[in-house]
Amino acid sequence: MWALWVLTVALVLRSPTLGAAAAPRPNVVLILADDFGWYDVGYHGSEIRTPNLDRLSAAGVRLENYYVQPVCSPSRNQLMTGRYQIHTGMQHQIIWPCQPYCVPLDEKLLPQMMGEVGYATHMVGKWHLGMYRKDCLPTRRGFHSYFGYLTGGEDYNTHMLCCPIAGLNLTRCALDLRDGEEVATAYNGVYSTQLFSDKAISIIRTHNPQQPLFLYVALQAVHSPLQVPKRYLTPYSFIKDPHRRLYAGMVSAMDEAVGNITLALKQSNLWNNTVLVFSTDNGGQTLSGGSNWPLRGRKASLWEGGVRGVGFVSSPLLKKPGRVSKELIHISDWLPTIVGLTGGKYNGTKPLDGFDVWDTISKGLASPRLELLHNIDPLFVDMGPCPSAPSLSTSPWSRSGFNVSIHAAIRSSNWKLLTGYPGCNRWFPRPGLNSSSEGPGAVEAEPLKPVMLFDVEKDPEERKEVSAQFPAVVDYLLSRLQQHQKSALPVHYPDDDPRCDPGPTGAWGPWA
């Protein structure tokens, strides 16, 4: 009996679940900014003040080789699925309010996986992943609660969206704000950055600390229209460009919101077991006051200014905080990283394109990601074209296995290959050097080639095109694009459905 008792005690002590209390699952707070430019955070040298983002990132890990998608819906799609948009048919543009589609319903989303392991899952802010039928709504895709708007952009104060409806020959202005699945009508005049941060803070303060929390805050800031309370403009009277001045105020309001959310986590005694992820969804829009200086291009382009994103992780759970990471990380990596961190499983998911990069971020280990597909979009039309679209020359790779006229880009190690027209190809000047984003300070580039290669580690500004010097690298990356294209679903981009019309007194929302 004595020997049996000793053996039983030994087994209990060696058991990770019985011998000691299992470590509580960490809370995860994921904050996504909208159209936030590379240069527009204080720690990148901006004239815009972001003390909360600077402080949080300095105490955490700044991600300086981090990539997102060039526009809204594709980034959010990859964030929620962990899969490239070529594998969900969403590789072309955004989802417009009257298009009858959403992230495919057979895709399993991040909040569903979090809910399966006991998390309380809440979302506040911008959805923009489709809403033509109720099954597409956040509350049907894994979130226990939702407060926000379903489309891509609207008035910050009235929460109204005006949108043309194809087939009806009219432009409809209607409310787009939901509390759960019900239209929220009581918030006219409340600035959305404050409204959404207040809702997030309320969730934090009423959360049961015995249950792990997953909170996704998708802020409207700093997407157009350029609107901000006057009190945020006072520090920026020195900015002459009126667009830039308004944008700067919007950034300050966003920074304040992030600070208030973080303060609420600390006051609620949740911070010590919380991982906070901050990310933009795409590069800054120079037409609306944003800046990606010194990077080339802007939102909607495959240049670094469109896809290299501001991002960081802040948490007491980081093993080696206070660092800058230059390891390759992509927005699709958040799903496997967060699910892995919280002990979840990928049951029911389709093959992931993201990697678990927690050890890369927390411990400073090498990233498991060696390659990154930016996109392959055979239907590309530039949403924010340069005043004069450049012409493309002929290419010695025109007979390769991949159609080099297609808008595509891929990153492998230090190399980045672009094909077709990548989008507006200018270098926009550092803010303050000219009075307009399209003024004389916007530098014209050499004529574009259908195939362009850059060493983005040595040349992050993409100024020296080197395809002629490294033809073997070009051949390899074109073969990789060809392999990715073989696995791509056809583009799903349906025509508008006029049944989307909310009428003169309705609200944008499901109609099918």
Residue 344, H or E segment: none
State how far the Cα of 492 lies from the Cα of 128, in Å rounded to an integer. 16
CA atoms within 13 A on the CB side of 250: 29
Residues β-bridged to residue 31: 217, 278
Q: How many C-beta atoms surround the C-beta of residue 322 within 10 A? A: 11
Which amino acid type is present at position 240?
K
Which amino acid type is present at position 30?
L
Q: Which residue, 176, 37, 157, 109, is CA-closest to 509?
A: 176
How are strands ordered across the β-sheet holding 371-377?
371-377, 407-412, 415-419, 451-455
What DSSP character marks residue 438? T
Active-site annotation holder among 44, 87, 122, 128: 128
Structure tokens at 141: 């895709």
Residues β-bridged to residue 66: 329
State how far the Cα of 100 lies from the Cα of 511, in Å rounded to an integer. 9
State how far the Cα of 385 lies from the Cα of 255, in Å rounded to an integer. 30
Q: Which residues contact 205 (CB under 8 A, 6 or more apart)?
A: 264, 267, 268
Task: Determine the 3-state secondary structure of 104 from DSSP.
Answer: coil
Q: Is 72 a catalytic site residue?
A: yes
Distance of CA 393 to the CA centre of its chain: 33
Task: Determine the 3-state secondary structure of 173 from DSSP.
Answer: strand
Q: Which residues contact 399 (CB under 8 A, 6 or more apart)?
A: none
Active-site annotation holder among 72, 136, 163, 386: 72
State how far the Cα of 242 lies from the Cα of 436, in Å rounded to an integer. 9
CB contact burial 165-180 (16+ within 10 A = b; e otherwise): beeeeeebebbbbbee
Distance of CA 345 to the CA centre of its chain: 23
CB contact burial 329-345 (16+ within 10 A = b; e otherwise): bbbbbbbbbbbbbbebe
Residue with tokens 């927005």: 331
DSSP for 347-384, please give it: TTPPPP-----HHHHHH-PPPS--EEEEEEETT---SS
Q: Which residue, 335, 337, 338, 418, is CA-closest to 373?
A: 418
By the 10 Å C-beta count (0-12 exposed, 13-18 middle, 19+ buried), 189 is classed as exposed
- Residues identified as active-site: 72, 128
